[in-house]
Structure 1
Amino acid sequence: MAEQFIHQQHAHCESGVTSNLLKHSGIALSEPMTFGIGAGIFFGHLPFVKVSGIPGTTFRIWPGYIFKRVTQRLGLKIHTEKFSNEAKAMEALDQALARNIPVGMIAGVYYLNYLPEAFRFHFNAHNLVVYGKENGQYLVSDPILEGTSQIGYDDLARARFAKGFPEPKGKMYYITEAPDTIDLAKGIKDGIKQTCFFMSSPPVPWFGINAIYTLANKIEKYPEKLTPRQCTLYLGNIIRMQEEIGTGGGGFRFLYAAFLQEAAQYLSHNELGKLSERCTKMGDQWRNFAYSAARICKARESDLVSYKELSALLRGIGDTEKQFFKDLKAVRFS
């Protein structure tokens, strides 16, 4: 029944949804552990993918990946589905709710009218849980909020089929079966291995560490190739993706540091604990970068850095993360 689902606030939407759905299925896993096993940390700069004319930057793995990988690595069975029209998507949701199944889904933030107006903008990769329906209203567990919410049929349907990149296409997902026991140690190790591959191995300049250097090079050339207005918009979008979408660049590093700390305790592995401390410092570096970029956007005179200096800050982050993931990859487990 709806009242059996326990809502818990988390830092990031998909890892929070996954953690809450796991707990509902009898597996108590923290958000940092969920994020780490799901290899959620990432970086990508996609100049060929534009949102409102601005190149895309992402600090997390693509939507749906965390839930898929965590459940796969822990041996849970799941159901995922996309739809061609709103009516079929809403009917499938109602059918799952009638069976007392809490349903995760991807939605466009702009149409989620339970959010404060200042938080509602065109971002189509937000995760939430619908866990029941009462008096024509859907009961929502949105992990970024302290409490639960409600939303009507029309607004939820619009959110599930929001236009723009990426299109949610009514995607919904839920757990169908959970094992009696899980191999958490293997999940941790597999998650770390996957993360190191994603950050260190892609040969293209748009993903992983390479993408950090690519963005640094582009930022240095912004004043030469863009108008002052475009410079502000491009930098502002990087800051928004880092600090406002989910937990962003610095926040994701802090979340991953918490994962490594938990993993160190669970596996009795001191080296992971030391790497956790280094990962926290990486988060601080990203926050300093965002602060400096914001000063440029607001044209503040004090503490103002040049685009060349901002680019150098980002290259420094790239150097730090390159060594960090090299050392994390080299960790040996008994």
Structure 2
Amino acid sequence: MSNSSFQHHQTAHCESGVISNLLGHYGLQISEPMAFGIGAGIFFGHLPFVKVNGVPGTTYRIWPGAIFQRVCKRLGIKMEIERFSSPEKGMEALDKIIGEGVPVGLLSSVYYLPYFPPSYRFHFNAHNLVVYGKEDGQYLVSDPVMETLTTIDPESLVQARFAKGFPAPKGKMYYPVDVPTSVSFKLPIKAGIEQACHYMLKIPVPLFGVKGIRYLAKKVANYAEKPGDRKATLYLGNIIRMQEEIGTGGAGFRFLYSAFLQEAAEYLNKPELSKLATEFTATGDLWRNFAFSAGRVCKSRSADAVSYKELSEMLQQCAASEEVFFRKLAQVKL
């Protein structure tokens, strides 16, 4: 019971990767960067009140599921989405749909996916993957962050789909029921860019967008006093982990968005987008440098570790770079 025609492509990020792989199966070719850009996936938020594994949450992309919803809406795709009150109902529904030869997108917890190396398995409950069939009691998996197709046993898949914690996946599964084979990306690209600029520059709450990066920078400057050195390394560790989460993260999302702008420049014949794409990769480099320095602080390599004040200044630099970029992007006439 498998869909041998399912094409697996490794991608940088799970949600935009699943979109690209799933829609490609139905003949709608959309690259991962294009899906990420149309879905306005680029974002920043620091949420001191939302604890992830006991430490404040930091996100470098829009909340899970939003990219998918926006891409479907903007491209006119109808998607069936289901959640379940029990694992039994969830697995029964999955078996029924893949039995009909339909690949299914699933929300899961990284912690319970045995094909991930142990160092990558932490309690992150918003990982997307595709199950496209079942053979010899094993589910056939296309996980976009993996190089090749893989499999998972039913017990692990139940644990991953019905993991506890925030956000609880509740067995969420989704699959297209109506996919147009040809669409114009022009208006969706425009809508995606406008929304990303709005979210990064104009949300009045100081926890989000460029303001959110500056808010985090001020917090980090005082980490030695509050929450204190021991907890500060946990806090910093989480900022880096969410930044570099399974190969993508904060810097990776910046490079992914740059790739989207390169594609958009060609599609819309707007060379200024290509120039901005190059500028934004430099912002990605700033984030990478921050992660590298913060990682040294976490490992207490005191001889060459930077101070919390210096880390704070690096974040202020990231904020300034992002503000300049998004203001320029908002001014491009699309």
Same fold (TM over 0.5): yes
Displacement of 1:245 in angstroms is 4.0
Question: What are the Cα deviations for residues 280-308 of structure 1, in whole angstroms up to 9, with x where unaligned?
Answer: 00100101111111121122244432111
Distance in 1, matches of 2:332 and 2:81, equals 34
| 2:328 counterpart residue number | 327
Displacement of 1:246 in angstroms is 5.2
Question: What are the Cα deviations for residues 60-95 of structure 1, in whole angstroms up to 9, with x where unaligned?
Answer: 111111111112111111111111111111111111
Amino acid at match of 2:38: I
Displacement of 1:176 in angstroms is 0.9
| 1:253 counterpart residue number | 254
| 1:28 counterpart residue number | 29
Tell whether 2:115 aligns with 1:110: no
Tell whether 2:182 aligns with 1:185: no
Distance in 2, matches of 1:296 and 1:155, equals 35
Amino acid at match of 1:72: K
Distance in 2, matches of 1:119 and 1:303, equals 26
Distance in 2, matches of 1:8 and 1:245, equals 16
Distance in 1, matches of 2:161 and 2:319, equals 36
Contact 2:293 2:305 in 1 (8 A): yes
Question: What are the Cα deviations for residues 103-147 of structure 1, in whole angstroms up to 9, with x where unaligned?
Answer: 001101111112222221111111100000112111000011111
Residue aligned with 2:4, SS: helix
| 2:273 counterpart residue number | 272
| 1:204 counterpart residue number | 205
Contact 1:79 1:175 in 2 (8 A): yes
Contact 2:106 2:172 in 1 (8 A): yes
* Cα 1:242–1:249 shift into 2, 3 Å: same
Gaps of 5+ in 1: none
| 1:152 counterpart residue number | 153
Amino acid at match of 2:192: G
Question: What are the Cα deviations for residues 126-185 of structure 1, in whole angstroms up to 9, with x where unaligned?
Answer: 110000011211100001111111112221111101011111011111111111420211
Runs of 4+ in 1 over 4 A off after TM superposition: none
TM-score by length of 1: 0.97
Amino acid at match of 2:70: R
RMSD: 1.2
* Cα 1:18–1:246 shift into 2, 3 Å: farther
Work out the number of aligned pairs and report it.
333
| 2:126 counterpart residue number | 125
| 1:229 counterpart residue number | 230
Amino acid at match of 1:271: E
Distance in 2, matches of 1:117 and 1:309, equals 32
TM-score by length of 2: 0.97
Distance in 1, matches of 2:235 and 2:246, equals 15
Distance in 2, matches of 1:123 and 1:14, equals 13
For 1:153-168, list aligned pairs within 5 A: 153-168=154-169
Amino acid at match of 1:143: P
Residue aligned with 1:3, SS: coil
Amino acid at match of 1:241: M
| 1:16 counterpart residue number | 17
* Cα 1:180–1:51 shift into 2, 3 Å: closer
Amino acid at match of 1:312: E
Amino acid at match of 2:298: C
Distance in 2, matches of 1:27 and 1:129, equals 17
| 2:298 counterpart residue number | 297
Displacement of 1:34 in angstroms is 1.0
| 1:141 counterpart residue number | 142
| 2:57 counterpart residue number | 56
